[in-house]
Amino acid sequence: MFIEGTDHDEGVVVWIFAGETNDDADYRAYCESITRFERMTSERKRVAVLVVDPSSPMPNARWRREIADRSRNIRPNTIFVLVGNAVARGVATAINWIRPPTYEMRTAASFLDALALAEASTGRPLPRLRELHDEARERIRARGA
């Protein structure tokens, strides 16, 4: 299951893959969200946090290629933080081999660690990022995952 929370005015997005299944529609939605994020303009440094829950399956080679292609032109004024296990970090490494990132890429052990990294990188508090994460988690719970 893929859930997104975005605030264009703040220049922040939270993406969450949760549950035990992800299908083509989930990966397509993620790729479309990457494209929207790529087009998001902001004078301030933009923030993207991707949370991959441990039970969530990883994308296959086709979707890894598509994710790499979609994220090819993300602006340098962006910090991307991945919250995920070693398998998720390995997938991110594979995507970065396909397309080296043009933006700051970090990994974190938890969403709160990701929030701290993002706030340190941007030099500003990001309460909206936490709100988006909490709202996304509530939508996940409502769907029963």
pLDDT of residue 94: 85
Q: What CATH number does the domain containing 57 carry? A: 3.30.750
Give the pLDDT of residue 100: 86
Average pLDDT over residues 48-62: 94
Q: pLDDT per residue over 30-50, tens digit each?
A: 999 999 999 988 889 999 999
SS3 49: strand
Instruction: Supply the pTM of this predicted model.
Output: 0.93
Confidence of residue 89 (pLDDT cuts 50, 70, 90): confident
Closest CA to 74 of 3, 1, 11: 11
Q: What is the mean pLDDT of residues 77-102?
A: 88
In sequence order, what are the beta bridge partners of 15? Answer: 4, 50
Tell me how many domains the chain contains. 1
Q: What is the model's pLDDT at position 42?
A: 81
Percentage with pLDDT > 70 across the chain: 99
What tokens appear for 17 in the block?
Answer: 């893959």
Q: Whole domain around residue 97: which residue ranges?
A: 2-142
- Ranges of H-type helices in the chain: 24-39, 61-70, 86-98, 111-122, 127-142
Indicate the SS3 state at residue 31: helix
Share of the chain above pLDDT 90, in %: 74
Query: What would the pLDDT profile of 3-23 be if each residue is shown by its tens digit?
Result: 999 999 999 999 999 999 999
Query: Is residue 97 predicted with pLDDT exceeding 90?
Result: no
Q: Can you give 95-135 as a three-state secondary structure string?
A: HHHHCCCCCEEEEECCHHHHHHHHHHHHCCCCHHHHHHHHH
Confidence at 85, pLDDT banded by 50, 70, 90: confident
114: confidence class by pLDDT, cuts 50, 70, 90: very high
